Structure 1
């Protein structure tokens, strides 16, 4: 394989939810591979931390504070991306919030709506404006949507999260069908148990420790690292995956094989 295919040199990338966890790891890896990265997060402090880490490592990054569930803010995110770096080549739509924790008959509909807004509606909004920009440029591009193992295997007491993550696969497949002919690839990454603040918060909410739960979540008897998910997103953003679209790539330590 030509090693240049996995390079992101000269590309401009957006990563949402890039202040912590998988988003931060992905933004840092894309920058290390040569991309100019827009670090999007709702929290200005954590976005600044990711930008500082990228710049300290010799990379190029710019923070844009964004509520990805707000259409006007997503539109502004794309406008600032183009104003800062001139174009867009790839995006990782990663932003999400902690899953709900109640069975359906006890569901708090305000929580349900919030999870759907952040974990699904935001993906639709980001795709809408990312694809508009790619079409306006007349260029090829790659969009990666972050789903979950819950996109294909439901969990009890997470109705909103499961619905949202199933929807991410639907949006991904629809996008791949609509835009393959225009040179735009749309894929998903489905993380399993990954060591992020959100994952640990979900464990805490259910009264589990990592050590107790890891054997049930992975054939490797460990939870994954954010960097391992970042590698999948980086590959899908790169030209090395040029014949891949509409695909959901699971990064889950074999969890879905059981």
Structure 2
């Protein structure tokens, strides 16, 4: 274990599965205390056992305003401080009616934006208020997606999701500019296709697997692993990024710079 995150206490919204859980494990490994939040009670129990004594898990829905507030309060109560927020929670709105614009339903639009943008705004707002209330700096890392800036019309046509992830970038840059004077850093991590519970439709589709071989050509051409983002997440939550704010780091295996073959 190294000490990149020693004495840091971090809240991970969406931290009981997938990318969030993988990052939480990395944070603990690097010395942090962690509070993870997830919607599923079973995944919360499993995460708390998995993460060990320097972690607490809390069940909650990220689209509810109180959820992030409660998680931050738990972090302060259990670990004595709150230093950073990593917002990972979100998801596909496909089953609610997201899709190509001519097929997109209003429920699909509203639900997808609620899951991926409103929830993020609420957690960021709670974190900002906590940092300002403590009269100290802090760090926020938001989860984006390559689809917010680099579309894939053949295989990934959820236009509300793309809009939400693009908005995460604009929201992050705007808030980063405003709160820089408070020494609060706010950045974005943008992955491509990663093997997570949300990505199972794509990960199990033979045509998409073939597409990914050339669209994400790094390391032999493959779907991303959750651990592929851990190093970047640790960097942003650590003091090594003390002079970095309003930035988007794309960890995508080459997606955004390759054409991909259908």
Secondary structure at the residue paired with 1:223? coil
Query: Structure 1 residue 239: deviation in Å?
Result: 0.6
Counterparts of 1:92 and 1:12 in 2: how far apart (Å)?
11
Q: Which residue of 1 aligns with 2:254?
A: 254
Q: Is the 8 A contact 1:99 1:202 kept in 2?
A: no
Q: Is the 8 A contact 2:93 2:108 kept in 1?
A: no
Q: Which residue of 2 aligns with 1:121?
A: 118
Matches within 5 A, 1:1-258: 7-55=4-52, 59-100=53-94, 102-156=99-153, 157-204=157-204, 207-208=205-206, 211-220=209-218, 221-258=221-258
Query: Structure 1 residue 249: deviation in Å?
Result: 0.3
Structure 2 CA distance for partners of 1:154 and 1:193, relative to 1, 3 Å = same
Unmatched segments (≥5 aa) in structure 1 = none
Which shows bigger deviation, 245-254 or 44-53? 44-53
Residues 106-130 of structure 1 deviation map (CA, whole Å, 9 limit, x = unaligned): 1122122111111111111000000
Q: Is the 8 A contact 1:155 1:162 kept in 2?
A: no
Unmatched segments (≥5 aa) in structure 2 = none
TM-score (norm 2): 0.89
Secondary structure at the residue paired with 2:124? helix
Q: Is the 8 A contact 2:83 2:139 kept in 1?
A: yes
Residues 126-173 of structure 1 deviation map (CA, whole Å, 9 limit, x = unaligned): 000001111111222111001000121134421110011001101110
Q: Is the 8 A contact 1:98 1:202 kept in 2?
A: no
Counterparts of 1:191 and 1:29 in 2: how far apart (Å)?
17
Query: Structure 1 residue 77: deviation in Å?
Result: 2.4
Secondary structure at the residue paired with 2:222? coil
Structure 2 CA distance for partners of 1:230 and 1:167, relative to 1, 3 Å = same
Alignment length (residue pairs): 250
Residues 199-253 of structure 1 deviation map (CA, whole Å, 9 limit, x = unaligned): 123455xx44663232143022111110111221111000111111100000001
Structure 2 CA distance for partners of 1:209 and 1:50, relative to 1, 3 Å = farther
**Please, what is the CA RMSD of the aligned residues?**
1.8
Structure 2 CA distance for partners of 1:201 and 1:19, relative to 1, 3 Å = farther
